[in-house]
Chain A
Amino acid sequence: MSNVARQEDPASVERIEHDEFDPVGTLALIAFYFAVLVLLWLFTYFVEFLGNVPTPVVVA
């Protein structure tokens, strides 16, 4: 953006550049999210399919 000058966060304790940054926390959080997604899918399957009887076959 307009201001390339770094505005340091007052709470910043260190400056981490691109090559020093290893986003393992991001990996952990996204892995957690995928686990939640899988559980939600299992829940959906339970609610919508296992929780209901099959659609009745109506013979005219």
Chain B
Amino acid sequence: MQQLVTKHKYYYYKTIKGLGLLLGGLLCGVTLLGVLHGYATATEIYGISEKSLGLYKGSGLLFEWRVKEARELVDRLNRESPNDPDVRGLEARVLFFEGRYAEARAVMERNRMTGSFPELVATTDDATRNMRTHRSDHFVISWADPRDEILVEPALEGLEKARVAVLRDLGFEPEAPVRVEIYPSVSQFTSVSTLTRKEVRTSGTIGLCKFNRLMIASPRATLHGYGWRDTLSHEYLHLAIYHLSRGRAPIWVHEGIAKYLEGSWRGAYGDLSPSSEALLSRRMSEGTLISLETMSPSVAKLESAEDTQLAFAEVATMMTFLVETKGLEALQALAEAIGDGRDDREALEAVWGDSFAAYDARWRSWVRTQPLGKGEYQILPLALADEAEESEDPSAIPDREAENFVRLGDLLRERGRVHAAAVEYQKAYEQSPSLAGVASRYIWGQMAIGRYQESVAASDAALMIYPELGVLWGRKGMALLELERYSEAMEALRALMEINPFHIPGRRALLVAARHAGETSEAQRQEWALSLLEKETAHPPL
């Protein structure tokens, strides 16, 4: 009997244990299923509504510029809660990211949404409402001013090449066509970009990648133009880095990679202008580099054009150094590591294989070994067309003696005394040949008195220092044209167009050179562009 009882007790406990396990398993399974099933079940457990979670998720997707997923989510939320104001708000944001500004605005107005974001949407809608659009396979370009149409073809060409390069170098390809907006003026650009005019002027930030699209101010909005195709490529790179890093990359990574690769569409990597090199060299020796923290949240917010240029030089060389030591793939790895959740230092350390401090030290040493320019080169700030003088020669002349001569030359030139002006410009050049404004004027002066060879030689010398200064290319081109060296002239003038495509005399010269060189298609292109530029309101078909 006792045994029977013991045996029964044994089986009893066993059964109980088994049942308990079964129940526990069932519970776990149910819970697991619930978790695997999705947030809905989890939210029911934790008391958060599905809608709230959806909105949260939607915002998160938008933050990462995962617009397609955000669209799917908001469509679902709309089906579930069609008239919910929060859902409508999310939808408005998605619409904005999709570039459907008018619809976004309408949704916001209907829902009486107020604040800075609705204002931005309204401003953007106003600025883009009358833009014309052209699509390629991967890009959608919009522009407002008819004259900016001349940028479209070259822009697309550059962007497509950039896309190929970025795919190759960073492994990124956008899911949908990328929107590119060309704003006709700095005012419009700043109104949609959250930058201030002062920031644009000081930092030279004339392009932006934000809200899943690329924005630039037309080169027409600046006095001397700028390397706008490189800028488009640069902004496209920001798009890529943003996606790769899921919006988490700090500014130095963004700018470093973008700066390093911005010329990749044309086969150039890690290009730095001589003035940037000299600046980096000098500031490094002075111990006044810009820290990575100071660069945040944006280089556009730095105090001066010099600081901005230095910041770019620093981060670009950091990437150059990284690539040289770890290969080009290190860039992608860095961005993705950040996208995976690591902070920037950790990510770099993971790629570099050592501490950040070690990397920094090695980089500095490496910079010191580089053959950087050491001269007193001038930083050329961005001159906005609507607030600067009409002269295309840079106005800032930091050397007083040279400035005086330049001023005298300008005064004589304004009064048609070109020979006299040339004399004064020569005096300035003898004083300070490495200053951009001096060199450009000297070159003009030499041309004015028919000394084209000297003009070309001086241009070459100046372009060694300031390859980004369009006026030098233009004058070189025209001097070469006078010397009947048409192919070289075309090369120089094409370089001018890369910087200032709205330079009408330069275009005319390019047209002449192309005709003389027998380059018919080029000549036709220039004829078309000139007809557009000179008519201003023409809308010839592409």
Q: Do A and B bind each other?
A: no
